[in-house]
Amino acid sequence: MKNILAVLLSLLIMTTALSQTFHNPEALFNPSPYGFSHVAVVPGGSKLIFVAGQGGEENKEGKLSPEFRIQVQHALNNIKIALQTQQLSMKSVVKVTTLVVNHDAEKLNIIIDEFKKIWPANQFPVNTLIPVPRLALDNMQVEIDAVAITK
């Protein structure tokens, strides 16, 4: 009887656990060095959480650092703060869109570095990076939105 209960409990946990998976088809280039995945698979019945584009504002007053890396760090932290209001973490993110003013290779490498800190072990969300001429606020260099999942 104990064994049957253990098996049933294991099956229940496996079917209710949130476990999105990320895939990179072998027929496509390996995006892991660039900090994203090609495909995210979300379990059926998942609830989607949308986080509006977050800039690199350091505080409620909207202070922006002139340094691109610091803006990326704060944009990611702002997403984290928004997700925490829903009892979620960055691990629940399946898709981001990254808008970058005057995009170049140096900025791409900064984004990759910062994404690797947030999503270790190459478990990156799907990402679309879009170079733009300007964002909503003066001196804003990056904006990142996110889609996360929960049960």
What is the DSSP secondary-structure string of 45-100?
A: TPEEEEEEEEE---STT----S-HHHHHHHHHHHHHHHHHTTT--GGGEEEEEEEE
More confident residue, 2 or 24: 24
Give residue 3's pLDDT.
54
Give residue 4's pLDDT.
53
More confident residue, 141 or 32: 141
User: Is the confidence at residue 7, as pLDDT, over 80?
Assistant: no
- What pLDDT band is residue 19 in, cutting at 50, 70 and 90? confident
Average pLDDT over every residue of 37-64: 92
pLDDT per residue as tens digits for the range 23-49: 999 999 899 998 999 999 998 999 999
Please give the torsion angle defined by the CA atoms of residues 110, 113, 115 and 121, in that order, rounded to the nearest 10 degrees: 160
Give residue 14's pLDDT.
38
Topology adopted by domain 19-150:
60s Ribosomal Protein L30; Chain: A; (3.30.1330)
In the chain, how long is the greatest CA-to-CA distance? 66
pLDDT per residue as tens digits for the range 72-129: 999 999 999 999 999 999 999 999 999 999 999 999 999 999 999 999 888 899 999 9
pTM score, two decimals?
A: 0.83
